[in-house]
Amino acid sequence: MMLRRVLRALTAAALAVPLALTGVTGTASAETPGRQLLFFNHGYGVLDRETADAIEHSAYMKEFANFSVRTTTGAGGQKWTGRYLMGRETYVELFGVGDLPGEDGKLGATGFGVSPEHAGDLKTVRQRLIDQGGKPVDFLQTIDWGDGKPVPWFDAIFTSAEKYESLNAWGMEYREEFLSDPRAKIGPPAYPGDVSRDRYLSEKYRDFLMRDVSAIHLAITARDLNVTLPLLKNGGFVVVPTPSGVLVTRGGTTMRLDAVPPAEIGLRSIDFTLNRPLGTRQEHRLGNSTLTVGPGARAFWTFQR
């Protein structure tokens, strides 16, 4: 544990130095604004009820990942029930139809949050958006520990005030009030301004196969893709155009975002890195999805609608 925190402090120091612009192509590199400020935090998808229930009641899920099913109360008293697979720095939320309030809980809806490792970096991204003529929308997410007294959880920004069609994407920065709250059971900062994913998530991932989310593939509408790109580009990701959308790289997790008609939206796949390699290939059918684990230190989860 101590070694991990020392390495994290050294990594943070390295990140504070502007990085050389690298990417798949020269064009992609030119779109990367210096030091990366935001990183993939977590992603979610709303699945059909059969698949969501199969995941929730799967005995294998408890072997594969630090897995839990829980209901959270957020800002304004809104509640949602998710199936959570928690890794070292990243995690996944899986919902069934209706597990999120209102239109958020429709089949095929997806989302992700991207967050900084250093306090104040979200404000930098926000200012970049404003400087480019954007009108970011601020939001404070809270959490209720059950006593009816909401605690500030994280600050968030959206690139548009309009309701999303298929993809809910936001920038987020954890609040110190939450990180230092004893009820959150989160350790002390490894360096000044530590609001990292690594600090937020627990060490329990070590006891399971899943280590982190290495890639996620989402099918979304063209409108939502266009609305989301400024957040990603100003956060320091490399955005590479593809025939169907974009490939978003840099920072450890690759995001493939395809523009599709509304009838075809949804979570398509998730790639994971594992804590240890497997010598054989395992397939686990969970409703209308297939989780393939191994061989090697990788797993691949595909979803069908």
Q: Please tell me whether the overall predicted TM-score, pTM, comes out greater than 0.85 for this model.
A: yes
Domain map (residue ranges) of the chain: 21-303
Give the β-pairing of 137-143 and 79-86: unpaired
Give the neighbor-by-neighbor strand order of the sheet with 91-96: 66-73, 79-86, 91-96, 39-47, 110-115, 167-174, 151-158, 137-143
Between the alpha carbon of residue 163 and those of residues 53, 158, 159, 240, 255, the distances in Å are: 28, 10, 11, 26, 22
User: pLDDT 10s digit of each residue in the chain, 305 long?
Assistant: 333 443 344 334 333 333 222 233 333 334 555 789 999 999 999 999 999 999 999 999 999 999 999 887 777 777 878 999 999 999 999 999 999 888 889 999 999 999 999 999 999 999 999 999 999 999 999 998 888 888 999 999 999 999 999 999 999 999 999 999 999 999 999 999 999 999 999 999 999 999 999 999 999 999 999 999 999 999 999 999 999 999 999 989 999 999 999 999 999 999 999 999 999 999 999 999 999 999 999 999 999 97
- Two tokens, residue 189: 């900062």
